[in-house]
Amino acid sequence: MQGKDMPGVNGGGPMWSQLLNRDPSELPSHNSEDELMLGYRDPGMESLDYEVVESVAYREDQAQRGIWHHASYITLKWTFSLLIGIGTGLAAFLINIAVENFSGWKFAATFALMKYSTFLGLVIYIAFNAALVFSSVYIITQFAPAAAGSGIPEIKAYLNGVDTPGILLFRTLIGKVLGSIGSVGGGLALGKEGPLVHTGACIASVLGQGGSTKYHVNWRWLRRFKNDRDRRDLVTCGCAAGVAAAFRAPVGGVLFALEEVTSWWRSQLLWRVFFTSAVVAVVVRTAMGWCKHGNCGHFGSGGFIIWDISGGQDDYSFFELLPMAMLGAIGGLLGALFNQLTIWISTWRRNVLHRRGTRVKIIEVLLVSLITSMLSFGLPMMTTCKPCPDPVKYPSVICPRPSGNYGNYVNFFCPNENQYNDLATIFFNTQDDAIRNLFSTNTPHEYSTRSLLTFLVMFFVLAVLTYGTAVPSGQFVPGIMIGATYGRLVGILVVNASSKDSVDEGTYALLGAASFLGGSMRMTVSLCVIMVEITNNLQLLPLIMLVLLISKAVGDAFNSGFYEEQVKLRSLPLLESRPQRFMRNLAAKDASGTRKIVQFSRVSKVGHIVAVLRSTNHNGFPVVDKLQTGEPVVIGLILRSYLLVLLQAKTDFQRTPTLGDTRDRRNFRYDVRDFTKPVSSKGISIYDIDISAQEMEMYIDLQPFVNPTPYIVPEDMSLTKVYNLFRQLGLRHICVVPRPSQVVGVITRKDLLPEVLEERESLEEMLSSR
């Protein structure tokens, strides 16, 4: 068969040689639609290939694999789940130890100097915070830019099928861990929980791809998991592990992965995710055991989040449901406001401020740190002290603290020993301790309304300002602090209005926290379980459910959830679980447009392939052959990544445009794994491949490497159906074809049952060799 006779081959004319000499930036875009979609067509943001390419090479590989191969594959998957659990648990432990110790040294130094001069105390406090925050922003801007922010929107997009460059690299992992220590230890209004989800995902991905080639930590035998499909499962385990480690909430972790981040879920995956979360719980518990007797410096009772409020309200009266529902509504309103404000500020940052360079990013974070330090130090200083509660009436309350300034009821230089500073108790403290103090039960009227209001307004503003700066930042802890504060305010109202002693402000603080998270993040089941797991109080479950449902409903009336909004802001092409209504009136051909199809002949000229790869950004190309009658026939779809491997290897180049003998198995010189690309990068680029002029004139038979059965839809299939197919199967390409001229068979549900198939005579031989 001559090359110029074949469809798709441009006759060996001068076109490819002209294109080869042009700078890629000069190449024309396809049409104006592309420009409109520029945000979503960022060449750095490529889709992932979750579909199994059942090429001849793949089938060849599978045919050689026996039962042992399958068994070792499954064993390895479980081993990975174990390792991800251990790795994430240890990373969380490391972050907590470091944050607690840095904070401990900071507060110790500040209090020591404040005995001599308040000003000196303030200076050392600001300097300590600034140094920690600087370490964080420096690492992010110079070393691991992809580690900025929470990482959850990017991971969510990754599990939906979009690869953001650099998001799962080893350097991102290091940047995330070290950056979180600096930003959380430096007292900024952000948390370490979101970053821990990202950390878990990075650990999973790095393990799955057999280490990092760049840092020469690479195990070749782990290459088996170096494909998008397996990596997706591992990253899901990593996400669940991150939440399990952050909150010590293993079940919450599984549900978080299921509800918030993943787009595809299978029962086998559920078991592995559950196993990983359980491993995390054991690792964290064991690691905390090592630190029991002050072995880990300042890390002790605080650190890991677990706010046991089992001593709180164990019953509630009917009239309390009203203020609780009100909390839900406030949570929905404030959560939606928080989302909206962060979108506005983040948009401005991305479009204006952060375009001015690294220095501006560093100065911005340092300014935010300065404001945070001044407010958290200055405002408690201006607050009037409160007398300690009556020790006879409240025997469980320790006031004043023997240690002076740690724990609840801190004295914070009140003139009288029997006094405490309520604002310092929550503002001048580590976040975990502040939350514990806000949730504290059986301590009525611990905080004045004025202090709570001051903290609420200031912290809300700080949290909005801080999110989006160039440091790793999570939204869970700020959300809990904001919610707990107005929850406690509502609690004060209820305590004052109620004649019952059982009403507890701490319980309202917890419900407030749940309501704000629900109103901002719009999660329900996972948040509910996380809240129950961190508070160890099952009795509050129905109330938390009520509050979460109301806050989500109210929030949804205004905008989308926090992560969804952030996904949109970053122009990540995420496919939501449901298609839009208007898609019902559109067909597949409306979405694919009127572009001329770029395709290859079965035997194509190397020069033509190179020219096409240079002139387009497409990642999938139909491959066509000719029937004996001369009719063209589509024999499959070939991926760009496959073509690049073939061009680089050059082993299949042939001098004449003849068909390779695909039946001879010795012809395949590739391992299927050769065709996979490294994580979070575009792999090899066409511009990296050196091909001589002589090689350009050679040919290659693409047939063994095509996906012979890509998903195809008739052109008039409704877009809703196409969307569901695409989303549910995690596809990257769907080929749109004209209505077929004939039907060769119909398959129903029962045809797919193994027992029905076994009875088919034509299949007997094949099935008996299973």
Residues of this chain that interact with ligand ATP (CB under 6 A) are 41, 46-47, 592-593, 595, 597-598, 617-621, 732
The interface partner of residue 732, options being Mg ion, ligand ATP, none and the CB cut-off 5 to 8 Å by kind, is ligand ATP
Site string for Mg ion, 680-719 (x = CB under 5 A): ----------------------------------------
The interface partner of residue 47, options being Mg ion, ligand ATP, none and the CB cut-off 5 to 8 Å by kind, is ligand ATP
Provide, rounded to whole angstroms, the least separation between the CB of residue 15 and Mg ion: 23
Span from 133-141, 145-153, 607-615, 616-624 in contact with Mg ion (CB under 5 A): 616-624
Please name the residue ranges forming H helices in 536-680: 541-556, 562-569, 588-592, 606-615, 640-649
Q: Which residues 6+ apart lie within 8 Å of 413 measured at CB?
A: 114, 118, 421
DSSP state of 739: P
Q: How large is the angle between the packed helices 358-381 and 118-142, nearest 10 degrees? A: 150
List residues bridging with 501 in a β-sheet: none
Provide, rounded to whole angstroms, the least separation between the CB of residue 278 and ligand ATP: 36
In single-letter form, the type of residue at position 675 comes to F
Provide, rounded to whole angstroms, the least separation between the CB of residue 657 and ligand ATP: 21
Which pair of structure tokens corresponds to residue 598?
Answer: 């770029």
Nearest to 426 by CA among 494, 474, 482, 505: 482
Considering beta carbons, is residue 715 or 758 the nearer one to ligand ATP?
Answer: 715
The interface partner of residue 478, options being Mg ion, ligand ATP, none and the CB cut-off 5 to 8 Å by kind, is none
Considering beta carbons, is residue 47 or 539 the nearer one to ligand ATP?
Answer: 47
The interface partner of residue 592, options being Mg ion, ligand ATP, none and the CB cut-off 5 to 8 Å by kind, is ligand ATP
How far apart CA 587 and CA 722 sit, in angstroms, is: 8
The structure tokens 């509660």 sit at: 389
Considering beta carbons, is residue 340 or 592 the nearer one to ligand ATP?
Answer: 592
Provide, rounded to whole angstroms, the least separation between the CB of residue 41 and ligand ATP: 5
Q: Which residues 6+ apart lie within 8 Å of 435 measured at CB?
A: 305, 307, 477, 480, 481, 484, 513
The structure tokens 């650190």 sit at: 303
Considering beta carbons, is residue 40 or 219 the nearer one to Mg ion?
Answer: 40
Provide, rounded to whole angstroms, the least separation between the CB of residue 689 and Mg ion: 19
How far apart CA 224 and CA 405 sit, in angstroms, is: 54
Distances (CA, A) of 346 to 341, 445, 470, 716: 8, 38, 11, 41
The interface partner of residue 272, options being Mg ion, ligand ATP, none and the CB cut-off 5 to 8 Å by kind, is none
Provide, rounded to whole angstroms, the least separation between the CB of residue 228 and ligand ATP: 11
Considering beta carbons, is residue 45 or 484 the nearer one to Mg ion?
Answer: 45
Span from 317-325, 373-381, 550-558, 611-619 in contact with Mg ion (CB under 5 A): 611-619
Considering beta carbons, is residue 539 or 617 the nearer one to Mg ion?
Answer: 617
How far apart CA 103 and CA 92 sit, in angstroms, is: 16
Considering beta carbons, is residue 162 or 245 the nearer one to Mg ion?
Answer: 162
The interface partner of residue 670, options being ligand ATP, Mg ion, none and the CB cut-off 5 to 8 Å by kind, is none
- List b or e across 368-385, with b for residues whose CB sees 16 or more CB atoms inside 10 angstroms: bbebbbebbbebbbebeb
Do the beta carbons of residue 420 and residue 400 sit within 8 Å?
A: yes
Provide, rounded to whole angstroms, the least separation between the CB of residue 627 and ligand ATP: 22
Do the beta carbons of residue 547 and residue 518 sit within 8 Å?
A: yes
The interface partner of residue 212, options being ligand ATP, Mg ion, none and the CB cut-off 5 to 8 Å by kind, is none
How far apart CA 447 and CA 383 sit, in angstroms, is: 11
Nearest to 239 by CA among 279, 191, 281, 200: 200
Considering beta carbons, is residue 158 or 668 the nearer one to Mg ion?
Answer: 158
Provide, rounded to whole angstroms, the least separation between the CB of residue 29 and Mg ion: 12
| Cα-Cα-Cα-Cα dihedral sign, residues 703, 706, 709, 710 | negative
Considering beta carbons, is residue 46 or 505 the nearer one to ligand ATP?
Answer: 46
Provide, rounded to whole angstroms, the least separation between the CB of residue 710 and ligand ATP: 11
Provide, rounded to whole angstroms, the least separation between the CB of residue 649 and ligand ATP: 22
Considering beta carbons, is residue 43 or 391 the nearer one to ligand ATP?
Answer: 43
DSSP 463-490: HHHHTTSSSB-BSHHHHHHHHHHHHHHH
The interface partner of residue 101, options being Mg ion, ligand ATP, none and the CB cut-off 5 to 8 Å by kind, is none
Considering beta carbons, is residue 45 or 83 the nearer one to ligand ATP?
Answer: 45
Provide, rounded to whole angstroms, the least separation between the CB of residue 732 and ligand ATP: 5
List residues bridging with 699 in a β-sheet: 605, 654
Span from 162-170, 394-402, 523-531, 614-622 in contact with Mg ion (CB under 5 A): 614-622
How far apart CA 115 and CA 178 sit, in angstroms, is: 32
The interface partner of residue 636, options being Mg ion, ligand ATP, none and the CB cut-off 5 to 8 Å by kind, is none
3-state secondary structure at position 161? coil
Considering beta carbons, is residue 590 or 695 the nearer one to ligand ATP?
Answer: 590
In the bound complex, which residue of the shown chain has the CB atom lying closest to ligand ATP? Answer: 47
CA angle 145, 148, 154 (to 5 degrees): 95
Distances (CA, A) of 428 to 421, 434, 649: 10, 8, 62
The interface partner of residue 65, options being ligand ATP, Mg ion, none and the CB cut-off 5 to 8 Å by kind, is none
Provide, rounded to whole angstroms, the least separation between the CB of residue 647 and Mg ion: 19
Contacts to Mg ion from residues 308-337, by CB under 5 A:
none
Span from 130-138, 394-402, 504-512, 610-618 in contact with Mg ion (CB under 5 A): 610-618
Which pair of structure tokens corresponds to residue 730?
Answer: 């995690």
Q: What's the start-to-end Cα distance of the chain, in Å?
A: 39
Nearest to 540 by CA among 243, 249, 312, 332: 312
Considering beta carbons, is residue 37 or 763 the nearer one to ligand ATP?
Answer: 37
Considering beta carbons, is residue 201 or 572 the nearer one to ligand ATP?
Answer: 572
Provide, rounded to whole angstroms, the least separation between the CB of residue 335 and ligand ATP: 32
Span from 61-69, 412-420, 615-623, 747-755 in contact with Mg ion (CB under 5 A): 615-623
Residues at the interface with Mg ion (CB under 5 A): 617
